Chains A and B, each alone.
Chain A
Amino acid sequence: MRYERPETIQAATTLLAEAQDSVFVLAGGTDLLVRMQRDDFEAELVVDIKSIAGITDVIETDDSFVIGAAVSCAALGEHAALRAAWPGVVEAANLIGSTQIQGRCTVVGNLCNASPAADSVPALIAAGAQARIVGPNGTRTVPVEEVPTGPGKTSLAKGEMIDAIVIAKPEPKSGDSYLRFTPRTEMDIAVVGASVHLVLDDAGTVKTARVALGAVGPKVLVSQEAAQSIIGTTLDAAALDALATVCSAASTPIDDKRGTVDFRKQVAGVLARRAALIAFERAGGTQ
C-alpha cells in the first residue's frame, strides 16, 4: 500500500484516476482505518487530502456555506454562524461517534462511506445540501442524496472526489432538526434517524418541508408523502399522527443486530414527529 499527501486538487484527482487497483481518499480516517484493520483489506493507494489548500476551511459567502471536505465535525460544531443557520445539520454531524471520533471525522466521509445509518446525511439532504465533485474532467455539483447509491456504494466515478459540501443559507422562518435512536446515550450507530427541514409562511403555517429518514432503507429515504402530510398545517395532533403513520409505512428497514423491522418502523414515526416539532419551533412556529 502507498500513502500520498497531495497539496492540490489536481494532484489528488490525478492520483485517484491513475490508480490501477483500489484507492481510497483519507480525510478523517474514522471509517477507512477501521476497514484497514480487517485481514481481507487490500489497497494500492491511500490519498490523504488534508494538505490541499482550503480543504479544512468552512467559508461563509453571501448566500451559502462551503464546507471543505476535510473539516472535522468538531471544527464544524465550533462554527457559530453555521450552527445558528443550520442547527439540525451541525447537531447531526456532532452526533457521530465520540469526542475522539469528532476530532477527525468529516461529513463528506460520512456521506461517501454510504452507510444507510450515517448521522449527517439525512440532515444534509433535508437542508438541500449539494456535493461539489472534482475529477479529471472538471467539477460538477449534485444534490448530496445522489452520492450514496446503496450500502457502501457511491455514484462517484474513478478519479473523482468531493472537495466540499455547499449549503445555501436558510430562508427566513425556517428550521431544521435531526434526531436519532440509539440504545446507549453515545457511541452507537443510529438504529433510526429522522431529519425535518421546514419553512413557515407569514401565518406560521408550514409552507415547504423535507423529511429524510435514515437507517430504514439501503439509502436515506426522502419521503414526499411525509412532507405533504405537514404542509399547510401548524403541526396539530392530526398532522403529526399523519406524519408518523406515513413515515412508518414508507420505511423499509431490515432486521439486524441493531434493531428489528417492527421497531425501526415504529420508531421512525415517533422520531419524525419529534423532529418536526423541533424544526417547527426553530422556525418560529407556535401551536
Chain B
Amino acid sequence: MSSIAVSTTINGDDVEYLCQADETLLDVLRNRLGLMGSKEGCGTGDCGACSTIIDGRVVCSCLVLGAEAQGRTIETIEGMANGAALHPLQTNFIEHAALQCGVCTPGFLMAAKALLDVNPDPTEEEIRFWLAGNLCRCTGYDKIVRAVQAAAVEMRGEQA
C-alpha cells in the first residue's frame, strides 16, 4: 500500500503528513502527529472518546480516514485551551469534579464545545441527548452535565 500525502489544518496550524489508505484520522493523530489527547475506547464509533471537530462538526475520528482530512479544518483537545488559558469548559470540568479517571474527558470536552458553539443556552435534556455519544463509566454523568451548564452560563457572560 503506498502512502497518501495530506495537507490539512489542525488547531489552527498547517499540517502535512503521509498516511496509508486504511489509517484512520485517530491513528494519524496519535501515531504520526504525537497528538495523543484523543483516545481510542472502542474503535467503532460507539464511545466518543476519540471525538474531534472537523469543519465545525464533532465526529468520531476513528470513523474518519486520515486521507479524508485533506483540505479540512480539524480541532482536537490539544487546541482547546488558548495557550495557558483554559477554555471555560475545561475549568468548569475541573471545578465541578466532572472527571474521575479522565479518559473520556477529552471526548466530552470536544462534544460539549461543539454544542455550546451552536446552542449557547441548552436545556439539561438537550445537553444529555447531545452528549449521548460520549460514554463515561466513572461519573454517572451528573457532574458532567452540571459542568456544561456552568460553562454555558459563564460563556454567556451571566452570573451563576
Query: Shortest Cβ distance from A95 into chain B, in angstroms?
Result: 11
Pairwise interchain contact B65-A3, C-beta atoms closer than 8 A: yes
B4 within 8 A of partner (CB): yes
| A3 engages B129 (CB within 8 Å) | no
Q: What are the interface flags for B37-49 relative to A under an 8 Å C-beta threshold, 1 for contact and 0 otherwise?
A: 0000001111010
**A98 and B22 in contact (CB under 8 A), knowing A1-B1, A187-B46?**
no
Binds B, one of A33-41, A224-232, A251-259: A33-41
Residues in B1-52 with C-beta less than 8 Å from chain A = 1, 4, 20-22, 24, 43-46, 48, 51
- Give the distance in Å from the alpha carbon of A1 to the alpha carbon of B22 in the complex: 7
Contacts of A74 in B (CB 8 A): 57
- Complex contact B111–A100 (CB within 8 A): yes
Q: Which residues of B contact A98 (CB under 8 A)?
A: 45, 48, 132-134
Taken together as a complex, chains A and B put the C-alpha atoms of A37 and B22 apart, in Å, by 9
B133's partner among A34, A46, A99 (CB-CB below 8 A) is: A99
Collect the chain B residues with CB atoms within 8 Å of residue A26's CB: 65, 68
Tell me how far the C-beta of A69 lies from the nearest C-beta in chain B, rounded to whole angstroms: 16
B129 touches A185 (CB 8 A): yes
Q: Known contacts A1-B1, A48-B68; decide if A103 and B59 are in contact (CB<8 Å).
A: yes
Chain A neighbourhood of B68, CB < 8 A: 26, 29, 48, 50
CB-based nearest B residue for A48: B68
**B45–A30 CB distance below 8 A:** yes
A7 within 8 A of B: no
Contact call B67/A48, Cβ cutoff below 8 A: yes
- Give the residues in chain A near B70, CB-CB below 8 Å: 5
Specify which chain B residues have a CB less than 8 angstroms from the CB of A50 in the assembled complex. Answer: 68
Q: Contact check: which of B1, B22, B129 meets A186 at CB < 8 Å?
A: B129
> A1 vs B1: C-alpha distance in the bound complex, in angstroms?
6
Q: Is A185 in contact with B63, judged by CB distance below 8 angstroms?
A: no
B116: interface (CB < 8 Å): no
B103 within 8 A of A: no
Over the window 91-111 of chain A, the binary record of Cβ atoms lying under 8 Å from chain B Cβ atoms (1 yes, 0 no) is 000000111110110000000
**By the criterion CB–CB under 8 Å, are A100 and B133 in contact?**
yes
CA distance A5 to B21 in the complex (A): 11
Question: Closest Cβ of chain B: how far from A2's Cβ, in Å?
Answer: 6
Q: Is A72 on the interface with B (CB-CB < 8 A)?
A: yes
Among residues 157 to 213 in chain A, which have CB atoms less than 8 Å away from a CB atom of chain B? 185-187
B48 touches A33 (CB 8 A): no
B74: interface (CB < 8 Å): no
| Given A30-B63, A33-B62, A72 contacting B57 (CB threshold 8 A) | yes
**Taking the complex as formed, is B114 at the interface, i.e. its CB lies under 8 A from any CB of chain A?**
yes
Chain A nearest CB, measured from B30 CB (Å) = 15
Which of B21, B64, B134 makes the CB contact (< 8 A) with A2? Answer: B21
Min CB gap A52→B, angstroms: 14
Which B residues touch A99, using CB under 8 A?
58, 111, 114-115, 130-133
Cβ of B104 < 8 Å from any Cβ of A? Answer: no
Instruction: Give the 3 A-B residue pairs with the shortest CB-CB distance, closest first.
Output: A98-B133, A186-B132, A103-B57
A-B contact pairs, 29 of them (CB 8 A): A2-B21, A3-B67, A26-B65, A29-B68, A30-B45, A33-B63, A34-B45, A34-B63, A36-B22, A37-B44, A46-B65, A48-B67, A50-B68, A72-B57, A97-B133, A98-B48, A99-B58, A99-B111, A100-B48, A100-B58, A100-B59, A100-B63, A100-B133, A103-B58, A104-B63, A104-B64, A185-B132, A186-B129, A187-B133
Other A-B pairs, 6, CB within 8 Å; known A104-B60, A187-B132, A187-B133:
A3-B67, A33-B24, A34-B45, A100-B51, A103-B59, A185-B129
